[in-house]
Amino acid sequence: MRGLVVACVFATGCGFAGDARAIPTEEAVFRLGGASTPRPEAAGSLLPAAEVEQALRSVICWYEDASKARACLPPGETTFRALDSIAASGDRRFITPLVDMLWLDLGWERPVREALERVSGERYATAAEWYTAIQRDPPPLPEGYGEWKGRLLSLVDTRFLNLIPKEASGVPPERLVWGLGDTRTPTLESARTIRANEERYLAATDVVFGVRVNGDSHAYPERVLSWHGVAQDRAGGVDVVVFHCVPCGGAAAYRRTASDGKAYTFGVANLVAESRRLVFDTETLSLWDPVSGRAIAGPLAAKDVSLTALPTARTSWGEWKDRYPTGAVLALDTGFVRDYAEGAALRGEGGLERPQFPIASLDPRMPAKTRVIGVNLGGVWRAYPVDAIEQARLVQETVAGVTVVLVSAGPGKGVLAYDAQGTRFDRLGGSGAALEVSDRDGGRWFLDDERLLNSRNGRARPALPAAQFWWFAWAGAHPDTTVWKP
C-alpha cells in the first residue's frame, strides 16, 4: 500500500510539540483562539450534521466491513472531491478530523493540508503543531467523531475500531494520537529467562528494569523490552506485567490482578495520550496508562479500575547482576527477529529535547526530559530528580506522615525508595550486593529491591512502589504531583 504507514507519516506527523506559531492564510475563515472570532458555540454551524457526516464518510471510504476501505488506497477522486467540499464549507467541525488525517497521511497530505488551512484560517508546519493547537483551543467536534476516528485508523489496523472510545469514558478520542504503528506489536508472554550468571549478551552499562517479588528477582533489559512494550511474567508466585513506554523514557511493573479482582492480558495499543504510549487489555479493549497503571478509556475507565504498582528499579546490568547473580533475566531468544542492540529501539526518540508526541502544555517545574523517580507517599504523589538523588546517594524526608528514604549506589546506578517507618538513616556504605545503610543508633541495614533488612534483629523496611520516567510523563499522569528540591 505504497509505504502506507512509514514514509508519509514521518514526513508530516513527527514534528515536536513546541511553541507552535501559526502563519495566517490569505483569507482567514477563523482564527484558533483569535480575539475577534466568535466562539464555536456562538458562531453556529454552517452545514447540517448529516452533510458533515456524509463528507467525513466519503473522505475515508466508509464500508460496513471496515477492512474493505483499504481497497480505496492510495486515495482517489472520491476522497479528493470530498476534501474539496470540506475546504469550501468553512465548517469548523472538520478541523479535528483533518488534523487526524494529516498525522496519519496515507497519500493525501497536500489536499488535507489545503483544506485544513482554508477551513481554519491557520497554518502550522507539522501535524504535531496542529495537534498542540487544537488541544489548547479545541474546535467543535462533529457528531460521531469517535467512531469516525476509529474508522480512519482502521485503515492501518481494524482493531482500532474498538479501541477508540465512541462515547465519553475517560480520555476523549480527540486526545488520542496514532502512535506510528498497529496493535500487533508482539508482547512477551511468559518469555524465556536465564540466570544472570549464565547471560552472555548484555554489557555492564546496559539499562535494565529490576523487579523483586517475594525474594524472586527478575531483570528486563531495555534493549529487549523496548521492542515489545509489554512483558507478562511470574515472579515470586505472583503474576506481574511490565509496561515499557519509549516516549515516556521508562518502565513500570504491576500486579496483573487489577482492583476489580480480575487478571487482564495486555497488548500495545499504539495510541498515545500526552506522549504516553498506551496499552490495552484484550478482554475489554480498555486503554491503560503505563505510568499510572489506570484504565483511562473504555469500559474499565468508567469503573476506575487500576493496577497495583510494584517497586521497579532502573539500573545498569552490571549493578543488578552484582546484587542478584542467580536472578532471572530475559533471554535474547525471544522468538522474534529484532535488532536487540542497546538503544536500537530508542533511535526515534533518543536525543530529542522535547516529547516525541504532541502535548497541550508542559509542567514548567522541571525540563520535560528530566528523569524522575516517582512515588506515592500517604496519598501524595512526589517526584525526585534522579540525577540529584544519585549525586546525594542518601536522601530522607517525611511527606504526609510517611518517612521515605531514597538510596543510590551512585550516578547511573539507579535509585531505590523505602518506607523508613520512622527510622532515621544517616550513612551509606559498601557497594553492589554489600551496599548498606546505617541508622542513627548504629544499626546496619542491607538493602535489595524489595526491602531494607536490619542485620542485627531482622527488622525490615519495605520498598515503596516507584518507577522512573521523564518528568513530562510523570507530571502528565499525576498532575497534582509534588516535587522534591535539593
Handedness of CA 165, 169, 172, 176 (dihedral sign): negative
Could you say which residues of the chain have pLDDT below 70? Answer: 1-45, 168, 182-183, 348-351
Note the pLDDT of residue 19: 37
CB pairs under 8 A, 24+ apart, for 165-170?
A: 165/287, 165/297, 165/298, 169/297, 169/298, 169/299, 169/301, 169/302, 170/287, 170/295, 170/296, 170/297, 170/298, 170/301, 170/302
Q: How far is CA 110 from the centre of its chain?
A: 30
Note the pLDDT of residue 138: 95
CB 146 within 8 A of CB 164: yes
Segment holding 119, helix H or strand E: helix 109-120
Any bridge partners for residue 233, and if so which? 240
For the entire predicted model, the pTM comes to 0.88
Tell me how far apart the alpha carbons of residues 379 and 373 are, in angstroms, rounded to a whole number. Answer: 16
Note the pLDDT of residue 168: 67
Note the pLDDT of residue 181: 72
C-alpha cell at position 438: 546505617
Note the pLDDT of residue 146: 95
The radius of gyration computed from the CA coordinates of the chain, to the nearest angstrom, equals 25
C-alpha cell at position 392: 546525594
Note the pLDDT of residue 250: 97
DSSP 234-248: EETTEEEEEEEETTT
Burial of 243 (0-12, 13-18, 19+ CB in 10 A): buried
Specify the DSSP class assigned to residue 210. E
Note the pLDDT of residue 33: 32
Handedness of CA 190, 196, 197, 198 (dihedral sign): positive
Note the pLDDT of residue 300: 96
Give per-residue pLDDT as tens, 155-207.
Answer: 999 999 999 988 767 899 999 999 977 667 899 998 889 999 999 999 999 99
